Every structure is written in C-alpha cells, then in structure tokens.
Amino acid sequence: MFKLIKRGIIKVKEDIQVIYDKDPAATNIFEVLLCYPGLHALIAYRFAHRLHKWHIPLLPRIISYITRIITGIEIHPGARIGRRFFIDHGEGVVIGETTTIGNDVLIYQQVTLGGTGKEHGKRHPTLGNNVIVGAGAKVLGNIKLGDFVRVGAGSVVVEDVPEYSTVVGIPGRIVQRKVLDENGILMHNRIPDPVKCEINRLKYEIKELKEKIKDILQM
C-alpha cells in the first residue's frame, strides 16, 4: 500500500510539473492546484482507475461522473493513461473506456477519444508517446496514433497515423511535412490544408495542359 501511495504522489508531482513546462500561464503552485481542471480530472481518474483495476463495482464510475460535473472532463476509469499527461483547458474532453495513452501526451479542449459503434473489446484509440491533439479534434475507433503525431484542431481521425506525422482535416489526412516549432510544438496557425494543396496542384496541371493545347492549335 505504501508503494502505491508513493507511486501516486510521484505521478501527481509529474502532472503538476508538466503544466509548468507546457503552459506559460502557470505562474505558481496554488494557481495550478486550484485552477486547472485538467489536473483535477487526472487526479480523480488515477484514483478511480486504481479502484477499477481492483474490480470494485460502481464507485469508479461515480467518481468519474462527479468529476465530469465539476470539471467538464470525462475520463472513463478503464482508460489507460501514461505519465505526464496534460489536458490544456479541458472543457468537453471525453476519453473512452478502452483508450490507451502513452507518456508526455498533450490534448486540448473539446477533444474526443471515442469509439465508432457498440462493439465489445478494444474500440477506442491508442495514442503513442509525445502526441499532441488539437482543440476540437475527434480520434475515433480502434486506431493507433504513433509517437510524435500531431492532430490539427477540428480534425476527425478514423485511420491509423504513423509516427512523426501531422494529420489535418475531415476526414483526417496525413500531411507529410512537419509543422512544428523548434521545441517540437504543433503550430496550429500554420497547418497546411491538404485539400487546398491538391486543388492548387490540379490548377497548375490544367494550366499546363491549356498551354500545350494552345501550342498544338497554333502549329
């Protein structure tokens, strides 16, 4: 029991430290402890998850339900969440029962890590390490996002995404080039639109074909 408590305290310390590391608005310990719903939801989840693993009925879900009312964040006790997980702002975040989240993951408000149907078993996504999911994004189904994946705000991801990729749009499309700053943070205001890029490519091809047809007609 002492080891479990010690391990829990270490995780909470890491959860607090990651807020300082990733949120410039965090100025002091009292502000972090009192004003960050993502931290509150995560602490409650870790306790409920432990009870869930001990097969204690009902109580973990009650804790999850009360936490959702207070914080606006719903994390199912059955989800598996790694270390240094940070929910920025957090309102409207939903994390499903069979979701698996790696270490050093950052998600923003209105993110859903959900299922796509009523099937049993693994039906929610798996996120690797150092993943960032932008505001309002939906990651649905039993899919995998590899390490260092970046999901643009408002995207809907329903297929696997390989590591070191950036995915944007509805449905999510992989953008091959990286849109990161020098610290590896996703630059939400500089995400390219793959549909627009494809349309522009087609415009250039049509222009070239028109010029070729014009040259042929002038011969």
Range of the domain at 136: 2-218
- Distance (Å, whole) CA 87 – CA 107: 5
Cα–Cα distance, 106 to 181 (Å, whole number):
15
Residues of the chain with confidence (pLDDT) below 50: none
Position 180 scores a pLDDT of 54
Summarize pLDDT for 20-57 with one digit per residue, the tens.
Answer: 888 888 888 888 888 889 999 999 999 999 999 999 99
What would the two tokens of residue 60 be? 């973990």
Tokens of 42: 């995560």
Burial of 184 (0-12, 13-18, 19+ CB in 10 A): exposed
CATH number of the domain that 21 lies in?
Answer: 2.160.10.10
The pLDDT assigned to 45 comes to: 93
pLDDT value at position 200? 72
Q: How far is CA 3 from the centre of its chain?
A: 30
Predicted pLDDT of residue 178: 56
Torsion, Cα 191 196 198 202, to 10 degrees, reads -150
Q: For residue 34, what are the CA distances in angstroms to 25, 62, 176, 178, 205?
A: 14, 22, 40, 36, 57
Total domains in the chain come to: 1
Report the distance separating Cα 139 and Cα 115, nearest Å.
8
Count CA atoms closer than 13 A to 2's CA, side-chain side.
0
Structure-block tokens of residue 116: 């796509």
pTM of the model: 0.76
